[in-house]
Structure 1
């Protein structure tokens, strides 16, 4: 009975790890769609872009904070400081858990950079024309 409970706990941890892998890129994708969609609607309707820019910059900061939070949790899951193991080559459940943390951490870095690059036109461009 305890072996079954162990397997269920391990599965729950791996499911959370897989969710963590998708969270960073999902935040980036949602940020991309909202930013470009809102700017396109503002320019098409001739509305004031200043208010939208301010709101999107605040939204961008929120997206960056969320990605940093996911990245921090992934870094802790990777557990590099305690294990000292950059490579998880044994294939044990613990190694898979650390590998998923490593992958989620790297995806969080890429997602962070993606949000920054999507936000750059909000800062650098003057308006719709």
Structure 2
């Protein structure tokens, strides 16, 4: 009988750390989108209720939107590099090995980043298209 390779403690710790980072990476894009959403709508509501300068608020929120898009883009790029279908040749990652699960988590994080990017763009559109408080 052939002896199976039993992972060493260091290998297990490294694999666990990579998977933990992948799970956090999945949440970063939607988290940035959610924080951006709450800040934009909350600040515009307070600005209109208090009679503050809407144009200054709008400028600040447009800059915040650019930062949010940059952060989500960075998460998406990192997830793309983790998934990397051109290197593996398998965009679906059908296997049940640890490496396939690692690639799948990158794939999921990449797709969530795309959805989050679209969400930030749609939340930012009223900042540009709507004139002010009425």
Q: How far did residue 48 of structure 1 move? A: 1.1
Equivalent in the alignment of 1:103: 108
Stretches of 4+ aligned residues off by more than 4 angstroms: none
Instruction: Please state if 1:19 is matched with 2:24.
Output: yes
Q: List gaps (5 residues or longer) in structure 2.
A: 1-5
Residue 72 of structure 1: which of 70, 77, 91 is its match?
77
Note the alpha carbon deviations across 1:38-69, whole angstroms, 9 max, x for none: 00000000111000000000000000000000
Q: Distance in 2 between matches of 1:41 and 1:79?
A: 44
TM-score after normalising by structure 2: 0.94
CA distance in 2, matches of 1:105, 1:84: 17
Number of residue-to-residue matches in the alignment: 129
Matched, 1:57 2:57: no
Matches within 5 A, 1:25-44: 25-44=30-49
Unaligned runs of 5+ in 1: none
Q: In structure 1, what is the equivalent of residue 14 of structure 2?
A: 9
Counterparts of 1:120 and 1:79, CA distance in 2: 32
Greater share of residues in helix: 1
Distance 1:58 1:93 in 2: 40
Q: Distance in 1 between matches of 2:81 and 2:12?
A: 22
